Amino acid sequence: MRGQWALTGLLAGLAGLATAYLAAAWLGLRGNPVTDVAQLVIRLTPGSVAEHLIQLVGRHDKPLLVTGVTVVVLLLFALFGLLSRQRAGAGIAGFVVLGVIGLVANQSQYGAPATGIVPSLVGVLTWLSVLSLLTAQLRPQPFRDESKMELGRRFVLVASGVGVASAVVGLLGRKVGGHRRAVDAARDALNLPGVTDPGPPSGVEVGLDGITAWQTPSSRFYRIDTALVPPAISPEDWSVRIHGMVDREITLTYDDLIKRPRHEIWMTLNCVSNTVGGPLISNAWWSGTHLKDLLTEAGVQNGADAVKQTSDDGWTCGTPLSAMLDDRGAMLVYAMNGEPLPIEHGFPVRTLVPGMYGYVSACKWVRQIEVTTFDSFSAYWTERGWSPLGPVKLASRIDVPGNGDHVKSGQVRVGGLAWQQNTGISAVQVQLDGSGWRSAELARENITDSWVQWVASLDVPPGRHQLAVRAVNKEGQVQTAVRADPVPNGASGWHTIGFTAD
C-alpha cells in the first residue's frame, strides 16, 4: 500500500513536470523548472566548491547537476505521495513549496521575463489536480461497496492513464519547443563572407602518434561555463552595446559587425580551472572584429582601466582595458574553425582576448561591453574567490607516454604540448628520473597565441621511470616548479608522469 501512495506522488509530480515543460516550450523560454532550479544551485554554490566539482567531474558537471536535481525532485514527489496517506494537506503543501522554489529560481535569473512564472504555476496546478485524482482512487468512496482488489484495479487504470498522458504531453513539449531549432537553422543558413578555414598550417605537427591534435574540432572544444541551457539567439535579435567611460556609445547589430574589417587568428583558449597537465584547453581558428578599433571609435576616457562584459544570461567578467587596446588582437568573434560559432560556444558573438584565462576575458553570448574601473564592480568569478587579473601562466604537458603506460625499453619518443598565449614558447625541456634537463624539438611552425607541439627521444632502460617537462617562453622565463592550485589565478608546476619500460 505504501508503494501505491509513493507512486501517486511520483506520477503527480511527473505530470506536473510534463505540463510545465510544455508551457516553457510553448512560450519559447530558455529553460524549464528543473533547469531553473539547477541554475539557482550554480549561482549559490561557493567558488571553492565549484572549483572542486570542476576538478572532479570536468565537462560532465552540467549533466550531473541536472540529473542530481531531477533525482532529488523525484524522491520528493514520492515523499509527498506518502505524506498524503496520513494527511492530504501535507502532500499538497509539499508540492506548493516546490512550486514556489521553481518560481524563485526562474525569476532570480538575469533578465527573466514575467512569463517565466507560467510553467511553475501550470506545474503546481497539475500536481494538485493529479494528486487529488490519484489519491481518490486509493480511498474507499462513499456509497460504493468496493473490495481492495477492485480499488487496486481502479487505481492501476487511472495511474496508467496519467502516465501515458504525461508522456504524450512531454513529447508534445519537445515538438513545440522549436526556438532552439529555429536558431540552429538560422545559424546553418548564415553566409559569412570572407571567413576561411585554412586547416592546420604546415609544420605545426611533430608527427608523433598520441599527441593531441594541433587544431581542436569545434565539437570537441572544451566547454566550461555557468549556462545549463545555452542562450539561443537569432542573429537578427542580437546586438552589443559599448558604453560606460566612453565619449560616445556604440550599439552594433550582427550585420553591422560582419561588415566591419575581419581579422582571423589561431588561438589556444584554456580555463583557469585546468590542473597541471589537465584537459581544459583547446586550439581553434577564430574570425571576428578587433575590439581595439571599436573602443577607439567609442573614445575611451581617462581613468578607465577595465572592461566589464555581460553575457545574455547575466554572467559577467572583468578584463583589463589594456589587454583590449594593445596589439594582441582582442576580438568580437563570430566564427570558429571557418563556421559560425556553435551555440554552446557563444553564437552569435563572443569575445576573445589572447593571453588571458577565459574567466576574465572570454564572454560568450556577449551583450554589454562597459568601459569602467576595476574598483567599481566585481565579476562573477572574482566574487567567488578568483583574482581580478588572469594572465595565462607558462605551462606544458606530456601527452606521450600516458601516465601509467608500458613502453618498449631503448629509444623512446616522448611528446606533448606547451603554451603561453601572447608571449609564445622558445624551448621545451624534459627530465627523466631527476637527471639533467634535455632540450626537446619544437614543431617548426610556432604560433605565439597557440600551443606548440614538442617531441624528444630518450634512451630508456627497463624499469619504472618518471618523466617531467618544463617550458621556456620567448622572454626567457623558465616554467616554475612551484605547485599552485587553480584558485585564485591558475595552476602552476611541472607536469610529471610515471611509466614502465619493458
SS3 sequence, 438-462?
A: EECEECCCCCCCCCEEEEEEEEECC
> Are residue 351 and residue 408 in the same domain, yes or no?
no
Residue in 112, 51, 66 with CA at minimum distance from that of residue 384? 51
Q: What is the pLDDT of residues 416-469, one digit of tens each?
A: 999 999 999 999 999 999 999 999 999 988 899 999 999 999 999 999 999 999
Kindly state the percentage of the chain with pLDDT values over 90: 59
Report which of residues 25 and 457 the model is more confident about. Answer: 457
Average pLDDT value for the chain: 90
Residues 334, 463, single domain; the answer is no
SS3 of residue 92 by DSSP:
helix
Evaluate if residue 280 carries a pLDDT over 90: yes
Q: CA Rg, the chain, in Å? A: 28
Mean pLDDT value across residues 367-386: 94
Separation CA 421–CA 289 (nearest Å): 19
How far CA 169 is from CA of 7, 22, 166, 416, 439, in Å, comes to 19, 7, 5, 51, 64
Check residues 144 and 124 and name the one with the higher pLDDT: 124
231 and 379: one domain? yes
Residues 292 and 338 occupy one common structural domain: yes
Residue 206 placed within a domain: no
Q: Tell me if 211 sits within 8 A of 415, measured CB to CB.
A: yes
Report pLDDT for 278. 94
In a domain, 210, yes or no: no
Count of CB atoms situated within 10 Å of the CB of 152:
15
Quick one: 264 and 346 in the same domain?
A: yes
Let me know whether 277 and 412 are in one domain.
no
Q: What pLDDT, in 10s, does the model give residues 57-103?
A: 766 777 888 888 889 989 998 999 888 887 878 888 988 998 899 88
DSSP 395-432: EEEEEESPTT-EE-SEEEEEEEEEE-TTT-EEEEEEEE
20: left (phi over 0), alpha (psi -120 to 50) or beta: alpha
| Strand-pair partners of 174 | none
Question: CB under 8 Å to 29, separation ≥6 — which residues?
Answer: 113, 115, 116, 119
Per the CB < 8 A criterion, the answer to whether 466 and 496 are in contact is yes
Based on the fold, state whether residues 351 and 284 are members of the same structural domain: yes
Band (pLDDT 50/70/90 cuts) for residue 144 is: low
Yes or no: say if 170 and 13 are a contact pair by the CB < 8 Å rule: no
Domain boundary among 153, 177, 201: 177
Residue 120 and residue 123: Cα distance in Å, rounded?
Answer: 5
Which triple of cell numbers denotes residue 100? 514556489
Q: Is residue 493 part of a domain?
A: yes
472 and 444 share one domain: yes
| pLDDT band per the 50, 70, 90 thresholds, residue 115 | confident
Q: In the prediction, which pLDDT does 178 show?
A: 65
Identify whether the C-beta of residue 301 lies closer than 8 Å to the C-beta of residue 371: yes
- Domain hosting 85: range is 2-177
Q: Does one domain contain both 327 and 463?
A: no
